[in-house]
Amino acid sequence: MFISTAHAQTGGGGLLGGMESFIPLILIFVIFWFFMIRPQQKKAKEHREMVAALRRNDQVLTAGGIFGRVTKLLDDNMVQVEIADNVRVRVARSTITEVVSRSGTAKTAKSPTPKTVEKDDDDNDGNADDKAASSEATGDTASGKKSMFSFGSKK
């Protein structure tokens, strides 16, 4: 008796048929598109443009955390970066994460200019160079901020 009534029931047909179950999946995909996929594509496009616009004497930061100056553009995939005096390494363009400062007179608003340590002319003992060198070693600049080449923190 119970079996015959169970077989007699029919599934209710919705207005959209079987598409009702796909609406949450479509909404999830739209949310992922706007919050994850689209911003990453935009960031990747900006990175490609930045790498394509590299020039000689640009100060760059690599993905490994090494600051250097572009000395030569070898090909579409490689650049030569000078990381110290007479120390040049070949680096893949894709590993350059940031252009710290541009070469020439054109400076971008995004990239900060490197701060220089001003010499103290009021020093009585005449060792203005010693004071500037010691402040460079600790990472202090004339404005009291850390330089990009500082190691450790001063408390």
- With a CB cutoff of 8 Å and minimum separation 6, the contacts of 78 are 90, 91, 92, 93
**DSSP, res 22:** G
Short-list 39, 25, 79, CA closest to 55:
79
Q: What is the pLDDT of residues 9-26, one digit of tens each?
A: 555 555 666 778 889 999
- The domain defined by 53-101 folds into SH3 type barrels. (2.30.30)
Distance of CA 68 to the CA centre of its chain: 15
The overall average pLDDT reported for the chain is 74
Q: Considering the chain, what percentage of its residues have pLDDT values greater than 70?
A: 55
Dihedral class, residue 88 (left if φ above 0, else alpha if ψ from -120 to 50, else beta): beta
- With a CB cutoff of 8 Å and minimum separation 6, the contacts of 113 are 101, 107
- Can you give the residue ranges of every domain in the chain? 53-101, 113-142
Q: Considering the chain, what percentage of its residues have pLDDT values greater than 90?
A: 49
Answering whether pTM is above 0.85, one says: no
Q: What is the pLDDT of residues 48-98, one digit of tens each?
A: 999 999 999 999 999 999 999 999 999 989 999 999 999 999 999 999 999
